[in-house]
Amino acid sequence: MKIILPLLLAFSLIIFVNQSYSQIEIKPAIGINFTGFSQDPENATSSAQLGWQLGGTVSYGDKFYGEGGIFWTYKANDISENDTNITFSTSVSGVRIPVMVGYHLLGKETDFLGLRAFGGASVTILSNVDAEGLSKSDFTSPTYGVFLGAGLDLSILFLDLKYEWSLSDVSDLSSFDVGQARTIFINVGVRLGL
């Protein structure tokens, strides 16, 4: 018990100081994603599968802010052929670089509780593709997208939810014509003020 109280007080002091003076935040994060396509391939249907991302961002500002970052991203999708009921999985991974601007609707960067809205653009550079009968060269890289989202801040923790529309086709192959990707990103992380 003697050690718990000083640790609790030290942690509380760190949170207070962190939230009182910072306008620059480093935000390491981990999250999940679900990626669908704007159209199904010929004679098949596609379904989003669980993917993930790991990385972080740096934000600058208070009520109105700018933010940029880098994430290692893994996206997955299942393709089911209508005639044969055969299902195969596709997955891609690579580096995603988002840049955004946002506004604190409730609170501001230094407050204990905050609600944010943001929007921006991203570029994804593929590094690996795992798809039956397809190779990395069959997929468009880099791809570009735009997104809108909302975030919730609770002390040094945050939760972000984004919906991204790809501006680039997933592939130029007529045999794998699925249009553009549509992705939901959910990230959780820590806000570290400088």
Q: What are phi and psi of 13, to 5 degrees?
A: -65, -40
d(CA 158, CA 29): 9
- H or E element in which residue 7 lies: helix 4-21
pLDDT the model gives residue 69: 97
Amino acid (one-letter) located at 26:
I
pLDDT value of position 4: 62
Give the SS3 label for residue 137: helix
| pLDDT for residue 17 | 47
**Tell me, what DSSP letter sits at residue 120?**
E
The continuous run of DSSP H or E covering 60 comes out as strand 44-61
On the 0-12 / 13-18 / 19+ scale of CB atoms within 10 A, 150 is middle
Angle at CA 175, nearest 5°, toward 80 and 185? 60
181, 170 contact by CB (below 8 A): yes
User: Which pLDDT does position 7 carry in this prediction?
Assistant: 53
CA atoms of 187 and 160, how far apart (whole Å): 5
* DSSP string computed for 84-150: T--EEEEEEEEEEEEEEEEEEEES-TTSSEEEEEEEEEEEEEEEEEEETTB-GGGB-SSEEEEEEEE
pTM score: 0.83
Per-residue pLDDT of the chain (194 residues; tens, 9 = 90+): 456 655 555 555 455 444 444 589 999 999 999 998 888 777 788 888 999 999 999 999 988 999 999 999 999 998 888 888 788 888 999 999 999 999 999 987 777 899 999 999 999 999 999 988 888 888 888 999 999 999 999 999 999 999 999 998 888 877 777 889 999 999 999 999 88
Quote the DSSP letter at residue 173.
-
Domains, in order of start, for the chain: 4-193 (2.40.160.20)
**Token duo for residue 96:** 């995603």
